[in-house]
Amino acid sequence: MPIIGAVADDLTGATTTGVLLARSKAQTAVFFNEEAAEKAKGADELDAILVSSNSRPLPADEAYEKVKSATLALKRMGVKYFSKRIDTTLRGGVGVEIDAMLDQIGEDAVAVVVPAMPQSRRILVGGYSVIDGVALINTPVAKDVRTPVKENYIPRLLAGQTRRQVGLVTLDKVLAGKEAVEKALEEKRGEGCEVIVVDGITLEDVETIAKACIALKWNVVAVDPGPFTAKLAYERGLIGVEEPNIPETANEEEKTVLIAAGSATPVTKKQMEVLCEDERHVRISVEPILLINGGDEAVAEAERAVELAKEMFQEGSQPRAILFETALHGELLNLDEEDKKRGYASGMSANRINAGLGTIITKLMERVGRDRIAGLYTTGGDTMVNVCYQLGVECIQVMDYVIPQADVGRLVGSYDGLPVVGKGGLTGNDHTACDIVDRLFKEAGRK
């Protein structure tokens, strides 16, 4: 029976937390929704289950219902310890989703929010989020096309989203040690706070916060990008020490990595430019407007991309990697404006683009065969969901990461065992895409 359960607002977020648990000896799987989790064979043999609510861009009321439904499903499955996985850049309706989870768990539950992910240089100081040395609102995420973040002070951001009182435990208390954190948490709880944000800049800080929560014996809901959830599980004796899980040999013989790039961030654009400097890696640009228009135009554009890629497999020396992208060439579209032009519901243009990428990957794999594919690499949680959904995947068994937030797993269900890496759009350095492709060939050679 699973002991640890988490609800994430997108799939790549779920894999990021899941990998930290999997690297610590927990049998862990990530599901696309709660229905898939409850229907899955062997789910009762897992130690940890993570469910994506796919709620990040949704209106508050819809996001609430999604997280509520996922939390209730985890309760039915016997989960004892709950986490609300949040984006490292606090996108989406974090406060609303905290409410949705707390409302289902019990009146004594308290949300301890630790947004720090030091492995990815995401820290919190004085309640202010700092991403790789830059204030959150000065990063590309502030201009995210679907979920921009305009508030850098996290207690104020959450206070505008939750109906519960929000408190802050500052870094000086964390640096003073476990007892100081215990006292500070108790003070905030005494003031009526049910959502308590805690500063942190190192993994040792996160560990200190976890130890304080265990000592208090509270019914804590961990609200974090992953490290706090993992430290709590370790302090509870549920998991072991985190260790890497890297295959020794690679298999590149007549195999290709397929890449679906749904992220439009400058980070992703640069990574893919560096990747394609290697002539063995080819780019196929897909026109997003045609996918947004839908109907025959979308079908024809997907078919064009599939046939172009299929020809590359027939040329005798197939590419080492094929990149399908819709937002890394030409002028960046404002997807909200595209929705308004067509009278679409909010988010429909983005959904149609991601569905198009999923269709392309699925059709290409059907035509060239699984044996010629080393693995899949997706950027952006919505893209990963669409690719896996159209492939008929039940869930992803998570295993390791290339770098934090670039997570390695294997498909379960259709194309069972095929390696996959999902990466957030803002993660990594210029060479991360190259490293991910290299890792997928190693995973293809895993015994």
Render pLDDT for 76-120 as a digit per residue (tens, 0 to 9): 999 999 999 999 999 999 999 999 999 999 889 999 999 999 999
3 state SS of 69: helix
Do 63 and 212 belong together in one domain? yes
- Please indicate, yes or no, whether residues 276 and 354 belong to a single structural domain of this protein: yes
> What mean pLDDT do residues 153-172 have?
98
Q: Is residue 407 part of a domain?
A: yes
Radius of gyration of the chain (CA): 21
Angle at CA of residue 236, ends 39 and 5, nearest 5°:
20
Is the confidence at residue 301, as pLDDT, over 90?
Answer: yes
In terms of domains, do 216 and 265 share one?
no
Contacts of 410 (CB under 8 A, 6+ apart): 396, 397, 399, 416, 417, 418, 419, 420, 443
pTM: 0.89
CATH code assigned at 389 = 3.40.980.20
* Residue 131 and residue 20 share a domain: yes
| Same-domain status, 266 and 142 | no
Is residue 243 a part of any domain in this protein?
Answer: no
Which structure tokens are listed for 295?
């109907």
Same domain, 263 and 339: yes
**What are 81's two structure tokens?**
């310890």
Question: Tens digits of per-residue pLDDT, 23-54?
Answer: 999 999 999 999 999 999 889 999 999 999 99
Whole domain around residue 433: which residue ranges? 256-444
Structurally, how many domains does the chain consist of?
Answer: 2
What pLDDT score was predicted for residue 144? 77
Q: Is residue 387 part of a domain?
A: yes
Same domain, 152 and 290: no
For the residues 346-369, what does the mean pLDDT come to? 94
Whether residue 247 is contained in a domain is answered as no
Question: Looking at the domain assignment, is residue 424 inside a domain?
Answer: yes
CA angle 72, 110, 134 (to 5 degrees): 100
The DSSP string of 328-378 is: SSSSPP-HHHHHHHHTPPTTHHHHHHHHHHHHHHHHHHHHH-GGGEEEEEE
* Average pLDDT rounded to a whole number, residues 287-300: 96
Instruction: Give pLDDT, residue 346.
Output: 86
Q: Tens digit of pLDDT for each residue in 313-351?
A: 987 789 999 999 998 888 888 888 999 999 999 889 999
* pLDDT tens digits for range 425-435: 778 899 999 99
262 shares a domain with 225: no
The pLDDT > 90 percentage for the chain reads 83
Q: Are residues 231 and 330 in the same domain?
A: no
